[in-house]
Amino acid sequence: MALAMIGDSGYKIALFFHIVAVVVAFGPTFGYGVMFSVLPKYPRSAPALIEGMRKIDRILVNPGMILLLIAGIIVLATSGSVWKGSQFFVVWGFLAIIALFGVQHGFFAPQMAKLQELADRDLAAGDSFSPEFEATSQKIAQVGAAAGILIVLTIFIMAYKPFL
């Protein structure tokens, strides 16, 4: 009987939105490093490139994370007794999305705003970036790599469901 719950259309629709939200929210972020890699060759593109990434965050990442959380709660609620809130993969998912919300709003948003200001300032003075721009960019790259690892690990845990 419990397996019938995850076969119901409400569960399947919620699961669909949950998966789509992962793609929408986090897919674009995996390309940010590639976009940053062109800056040494095309420094004048920095303000537009950074603004584009900030816009992606506002239009895709932030709403996608909200949809991901809501859809995940609905998936859990519509699964009947198949999935429980105390199961490892569920707890991990909640902790991961909370951590990613914190990193997105507490680190990436202010650091990207700072980076954009530094790019505008540096390029007004010439065609190269200051050590402050480079250090901020490096810090964003390091935290971005850690966030990417957390995202991939979370996708693995949600798909594989260890400890069941």
Show the tokens assigned to 70. 């809501």
Q: 43 CB contacts (<8 Å, ≥6 apart)?
A: 123, 127, 128, 129
| Model confidence at 4: pLDDT above 90 | no
Q: 140 CB contacts (<8 Å, ≥6 apart)?
A: 108, 111, 112, 115
41 membership: H or E segment, kind and range: none
pLDDT tens digits for range 138-156: 999 999 999 999 999 999 9
Identify the pLDDT of residue 81.
83
| Local confidence band at 80 (pLDDT 50, 70, 90 cut-offs) | confident
Share of the chain above pLDDT 70, in %: 96
Mean per-residue pLDDT over the chain, rounded: 94
Higher pLDDT, 113 or 5: 113
Average pLDDT over residues 45-72: 97
Q: What is the DSSP letter of 1?
A: -
Average pLDDT over residues 7-22: 93
Q: Is 8 left (phi over 0), alpha (psi -120 to 50) or beta?
A: beta
Q: Domain residues of the chain, as ranges? A: 2-160
| Model confidence at 131: pLDDT above 70 | yes
Identify the pLDDT of residue 2.
56
| Model confidence at 3: pLDDT above 90 | no
| Model confidence at 28: pLDDT above 80 | yes
